[in-house]
A and B are shown apart, each in its own frame.
Chain A
């Protein structure tokens, strides 16, 4: 198993097809790119024979790939017993050759501490749990659970694979802009498109994590690895840059640098306001006063 995982694309396919021994896959999404695309990919990649139990808190429409469709409820014990009625008992599971998959379309509705219980009860070698978590959904924390980890931390700690989806940003600038718009719930165009970024974190048995970033396409079902580029910080002045360019010495000594930094630039002066940006008009003897003009300032 370990040998195949050297190729990140193959590893991703195995995770999506539930072939990797990963009983709890966490999908982390946000408004910019929601996790439905991953659910659909998983449903596509897995065996036809897999029984899919879809637990929905958000959608009231049964997805085509779901074998069973359950409505989520606030009561966690009730939810658990309903889900388990669709799953094999541990004895059956030993003999069953079919795989079971439980999809929860948003675990944010399950309050923090009960998530632990839910995951522990459901995930097993024969039953895979695939849960979507909305990353930027704040949660209410009672004072007695002040120091308890947040739901996201808990889930990320327990998950054997984490698939985080993000919108594919063209450049850093537009990414920043989108972020600030989403902070005010202004949804820009171009999000949730069929091309997105997927960050796979796969935990080995030892707990060591491997992280790869992919560019995905829901229409072509392709997953291309994005190589992390080591972008050098170009802002730093490199003394060797000027070497051999001219016969002049373009380098600055340390003393010169300090002096350069101490120069007060003229625009800093302008930032100290005294009279609140008033337009100061001084009347001079050659100025004539236009009495016809209604907007003329009467001194």
Chain B
């Protein structure tokens, strides 16, 4: 792979990862990250946080040591009391993110992690779901100054609170997107299998809810980051592919467009490199 040119992650046609146009007054957008078995997305989550903090996903674009140097020479893009990003995870504890983002030399004050793994069930198991959702929204939007909210596997809420996908969308995702400019939904789509409307196959209720939730996320999003392993399976120097494609929501009111692209990537020892396909 040494001869192959490393690529920088650009999502929009103004060569940015998170375009400024997304954060204009009154704009609300959803980004959707799908991952499969064998290719977890922590590096992409980290890159998005990094983009918010430093202005670009430095570690993706360069080796991490030089990135750190550049980071020091760069001024933070926003005033420091405003959190650059908020991460809410139902799968990982806050230590997990602190250690990963700490390695990228991101100051803990620049972002916030809501740990909805630790004791989430103990605290919320017997409460009515609507109440839990309301208090979650309140917690997540207290820092109303944030521009970027990353939700890791919010679909778990369907089972943890025993609610339908529609309730989760209408009473949780929608209120959040109304308040926060950019919401990133990170979902695990390994078991997604939608035979389509023309098929006579009967789907299990669990599957129906999952498809409805994930489809809903797609229709809301302006861009989809699809991470999946190679079709051929495990390879030594390639972990998988990252496909950037347009989502279901319209971008016609914005001056930017999604730059559809497909990268090969290789993740090893906390470092990820992108290559052109």
Interface, chain A (partner B; CB < 8 A): 31, 34, 36-37, 40, 57-61, 63-64, 71-74, 106, 108-109, 134-140, 152, 179, 182-193, 218
Q: Evaluate contact between B195 and A183: CB separation under 8 angstroms.
A: yes
CA distance in complex: A298, B262 (Å): 47
CA distance in complex: A75, B253 (Å): 31
CA distance in complex: A289, B203 (Å): 58
Chain A residues in 8 Å Cβ range of B237: none
Chain B residues in 8 Å Cβ range of A61: 26-29
B150 vs chain A, min Cβ distance (A): 18
CB < 8 Å A-B pair total: 116
Contact mask for chain B residues 240-277; partner A; CB cutoff 8 A; 1 contact, 0 none: 00011111111011000000111000000000000000
Q: Evaluate contact between B174 and A185: CB separation under 8 angstroms.
A: no
Q: Evaluate contact between B245 and A185: CB separation under 8 angstroms.
A: no
Q: Evaluate contact between A134 and B243: CB separation under 8 angstroms.
A: no
CA distance in complex: A34, B247 (Å): 9
Q: Evaluate contact between B246 and A186: CB separation under 8 angstroms.
A: no
Interface, chain B (partner A; CB < 8 A): 26-29, 34, 164, 166-167, 169-170, 174, 177-178, 189, 192-197, 203, 205, 207-209, 211-212, 214-216, 218-220, 224, 226, 228, 243-250, 252-253, 260-262
Q: Evaluate contact between B192 and A193: CB separation under 8 angstroms.
A: no
CA distance in complex: A31, B189 (Å): 15
Chain A residues in 8 Å Cβ range of B211: 137-138
Q: A71-B174, A139-B208 are in contact. Are A186 and B247 (CB under 8 A)?
A: no
Residue of B with least CB distance to A150: B197
Q: A40-B250, A59-B220, A218-B252 are in contact. Are A187 and B194 (CB under 8 A)?
A: no
Q: Evaluate contact between A192 and B252: CB separation under 8 angstroms.
A: no
Q: Evaluate contact between A187 and B219: CB separation under 8 angstroms.
A: no
Chain B residues in 8 Å Cβ range of A73: 170
Q: Evaluate contact between B215 and A136: CB separation under 8 angstroms.
A: yes
Q: Evaluate contact between A191 and B245: CB separation under 8 angstroms.
A: yes
Q: 7 tightest CB-CB pairs across the interface, nearest first? A: A36-B250, A34-B248, A189-B260, A192-B246, A60-B178, A187-B245, A185-B192
Chain B residues in 8 Å Cβ range of A137: 197, 211-212, 215
